[in-house]
Amino acid sequence: MPSVVGLLEQRELATRRRVDELREEADRIQAELAVAEQEWKEWAIARSRVGEVLAPVDGTGQGHAQAARAAPAAEGQAEKTSSAPGAAKPKSPVPVWREGLAWTVLSVDYQRIVRALADRVRLGQGSATCQEMAVLFGMDVVPARVETLRSKAKRLVARGWLAEQQPGRFTLALGVAGPGRSATTGAWDSSMI
């Protein structure tokens, strides 16, 4: 009859082998994730560069994005350059919302917030807190991430894209058409649903 200590050693050895296998798999997945993230960044940069190349050219032969980088523009001029076709760059300023301004002028992070709140409106779920948005985006709900979202949401409120009807609860501002929504009628475009 085997000893209790011998049985425990066998179980420990089997468990240690399983842990080693899982660590190897985790290392493999981490390496794949790093490669995928790098490829994703490269595609985002490529899309940004193509957006710059395809931007309308002004009288000096520069695209609006190049002209904005070459010489700092006044507030009114910055709004004109930010309404160029294509998505804005990641750290671009948030333009003040005005009738007819598409949400695509916002950087990807801001578009994500507008899209999430537009989806909530479409589904009849109403406003959302920053914690709810963090969960929706698959982020860790830690103070740093939530505060980053809150800062972006507050900036969108200040620029007229969002409304904060109750403290900490955000929704689309009146008149702002979210992705897939008609700016004139407020109805949802069935092709986007």
User: What pLDDT was estimated at residue 181?
Assistant: 45
Q: How many domains does the chain have?
A: 1
| pLDDT given for residue 17 in this prediction | 95
Rounded distance, CA 53 to CA 62, Å? 9
Is 15 part of a structural domain of the chain?
no
pLDDT for residue 8 = 94
Residue 111 lies in a domain: yes
CA–CA separation, 149 vs 146, rounded Å?
Answer: 5
User: 184 lies in a domain?
Assistant: yes
What's the half-sphere exposure (Cβ side, CA atoms, 13 Å) at 80?
A: 13
End-to-end CA distance of the chain, in Å? 67
In a domain, 69, yes or no: no
The enclosing domain of 160 has a CATH number of 1.10.10.10
Pick the residue with more confidence: 165 or 77? Answer: 165
Query: Which residue has better confidence, 86 or 41?
Result: 41
What domain range is 123 assigned to? Answer: 89-193
Residue 57 maps to a domain: no
Per-residue pLDDT tens digits for 11-63? 999 999 999 999 999 989 988 888 888 998 898 888 888 888 887 765 555 55
The Cα–Cα gap between 12 and 95 comes to: 60
- 60 is a domain residue: no
Q: Give a yes or no: residue 131 inside a domain.
A: yes
Q: Give bridge partners of residue 163 from the DSSP assignment.
A: 171
133, exposed or middle or buried, with CB in 10 Å at 0-12, 13-18, 19+? buried
> pLDDT tens across 134-170, in order?
998 988 889 989 999 999 999 999 999 999 988 999 9
pLDDT at 14: 95
pLDDT at 82: 40
Looking at the predicted structure, is the pLDDT value of residue 73 above 90? no
Q: Which residue has the higher pLDDT, 130 or 188?
A: 130
Distances (CA, A) of 146 to 131, 163, 167, 177: 6, 18, 15, 25
- Is 96 inside a domain boundary? yes
CA nearest to 65, candidates 78, 74, 52: 52
